[in-house]
Structure 1
Amino acid sequence: MTDGQRSPTVDGQIVVSGLTKQYRNLRAVDNLSFTVEPGRVTGFLGPNGAGKTTTLRMLLNLVTPTAGTATVGGHRYADLTDPLRHVGAVLEASSAHKGRTGINHLRVICAAAGLPKQRAAEALEMVGLAPAAKRRFKGYSLGMKQRLGIAAAMLGDPRVLILDEPANGLDPEGIRWMRGFLKSLASQGRTVLVSSHLLSEMQLLADDVVIIAAGRLVRQGPVDRVIGSMAQGARVRVRTPNAEALTTALATESATVEADPTGPLLISGVDAPTVGRVALAAGVELHELTTERPDLERVFLELTAGKAGIR
């Protein structure tokens, strides 16, 4: 696929502005606005029922918004000429006729979209399914179906890729492959928007995150910046056989000490060097002294606490 076959006016920026979806008495998405930039992997995160899938469906013109807009390169998806050449999407594991082979499934899509037949084999190679090209769909595992869906999304060599839970059904090796694959697409200047519940994986994969809850935006930005915004939540983990003595000694430093169910003390309000100094002065033996910094999972849970819903 050459750049000359693609409309030069459609770049990869996704802009969601004031997007709202009302279902009778339920507001699934509520005045949601965010931007997804080309050349980056953006994680789209939220609790179950947060409105993620509804948002993606509105972006892909599968659901009509009650209000607001969602555009790719300044265009609504419905207004794109040859949309598969601009946007590839996987909202669930690929479905196909159970008796059809993987490559024939993709060839059917190519024929319907006016794409060259050879793109089917190229896309299968791209996602590591070439050895299973002639296997029937009914024999595919869930992870293979996920890869086939991604292959279908890549048939038009799109500048934008939108994936909903793409790691579902993948084993650890498959998840690692997915991470490398999506990062490589972003490095080519493509826009990659990924919805996922695997927060530890999102911390490794994503450059940016958009976090929503109850249909509303709660935080957006580069992963490091979002985690850094909770830096005040850093804690010091301490293991000691003299917990009571250390707790008493730290009271003079206005530290907050709580016991972790697994055994150590979790101390906030002071840093690790201060804890070490106080312990030394009090003659308290330490078996562990570690600074615990917030990770994406902890930040996500704090930002969305009590905001889960049913959509």
Structure 2
Amino acid sequence: MSDGKIVVTGLTKVYKTVRAVDDLSFTVEAGRVTGFLGPNGAGKTTTLRMLLNLVRPSGGTGTIGGQRYADLVDPIRHVGAILEASGAHRGRSGRNHLRMLCIAGGLPVSRADEVLDMVGLTPAAKRKFKGYSLGMRQRLGIAAALLGDPKVLILDEPANGLDPEGIRWMRDLLKGLADEGRTVLVSSHLLSEMEILADDLVIIAAGKLVRQGTVAGIIDSMGAEQIRVRTPDADGLVAALGEGVGVTRADDGALRITGASRETIGDTALRAGVAIHELVVDRPDLENVFLQLTAGKADIR
């Protein structure tokens, strides 16, 4: 595998009369965390399964480092993936579960303890899997994905079951792995977390690509930044700002201004002798942008 870039080209999956994935194309670059977002039924998990050759595509291709996953030699050393909370024998300890995977993958069993330490499960290494919480199972799944020290990580809803501390830990881990030059593709419904974690986004709905780009670029593309202003002399401020500035009044009496920067508004108010009680940038967040982009496209079958 020459690099860790993921390239999806025209990927399609049809189940009888349902097009779960419809001519989907996108790229995921190395050295970055890419969020893979979409409503329920959008085709995210099906796409990931096709990438990992767990589902046969009806059309198109998905490659990792220029090769299909099925054609990779020793894939455990190239790609680590979790598509659900880790499954293991209920009576087997977390350490022994990972050791079995090491043996199956031709890795030294000592690697099990290394990844347990990476995911913070060393204190629970000897505990049986049946006693693991959902969050601990997610950590064990990430540990399994890291066993081969892969260049590429593909993770489907890895934050399910994690508490706030666990989510922050996962964020730091994935950002650190991307900083090492690895490719990190993460599917998640936690939009506020993805806004913090991801560098890039791929948003799909009804099996089709809706938008791809950087987090900031996608958010900014959905509308001009607004400045929220509260003042006892709203009419005086509007008059001082003059033409070319858009002003709307919020229900609480605040002004929402477009077409002028925060600095320009502040300087204008000072010259006009208008008191300012609040002056903040009101920037759209990823949740609102996502809902606009995918409105009416969730699968409710």
**TM exceeds 0.5?**
yes
Shift of 1:252: 5.8
CA distance in 2: counterparts of 1:102 and 1:149, whole angstroms? 10
Which residue does 1:32 correspond to in 2? 24
For residue 57 of structure 1, report the CA deviation from its aligned partner: 0.9
1:165 aligns with 2:157: yes
Equivalent-residue separation in structure 1 for 2:245 and 2:179 (angstroms): 47
1:300 pairs with 2:290: yes
3-state SS in 1 of match to 2:153: strand
TM-score relative to the length of structure 2: 0.89
Residues 1:77 and 1:129: Cα distance change in structure 2 (over 3 Å): same
Out of 185, 193, 200, which is 1:193 matched to?
185
Code of the residue aligned with 1:69 in structure 2: it is: T
Whether the 8 Å CA contact 1:90–1:162 is kept in 2: the answer is: yes
**Is residue 309 from structure 1 mapped to residue 299 from structure 2 by the alignment?**
yes
Using the alignment, how far apart are the partners of 2:275 and 2:148 within structure 1? 64
The equivalent of 1:6 in structure 2 is none
- Determine the structure 2 residue equivalent to 1:178: 170
> What is the DSSP-based 3-state SS (H/G/I as helix, E as strand, rest coil) of the residue aligned with 2:99?
helix
1:5 aligned residue: none
The TM-score normalised by the length of structure 1 is 0.86
2:256 to 238, 249, 266: 266
Corresponding residue SS for 2:90: coil
1:290 aligns with 2:280: yes
Alignment-derived partner of residue 212 in structure 1 = 204
* Inter-partner Cα distance in structure 1 for 2:285 and 2:250: 20
Residue 18 (structure 1) shift:
0.3
Q: Which runs of 5+ in 1 are unaligned?
A: 1-8
Give SS of 1:233's match: coil
Letter in 2 for 1:47: P
**Aligned counterparts, 1:59-98, within 5 A:** 59-98=51-90
Q: Is 1:105 the equivalent of 2:124?
A: no
Question: Structure 1 residues 130, 240: CA separation in 2 closer, same or farther (over 3 Å shift)?
Answer: same
Q: How many Å apart are 1:243 and its aligned residue?
A: 6.1
Aligned pair partner of 2:37 in 31, 45, 66 = 45
Q: Which residue of 2 aligns with 1:236?
A: 227
| Contact 1:10–1:86, Cα closer than 8 Å, also in 2 | no
Cα distance in 2, alignment partners of residues 42 and 252 from structure 1:
41
1:248, distance to aligned residue in structure 2 (A): 8.8
Aligned-residue offset at 1:302 = 2.6
What SS class does the counterpart of residue 209 from structure 1 fall into? strand
What is the aligned length? 301
1:160 Cα deviation after fit: 0.7
Deviation of residue 125 (structure 1)? 1.2
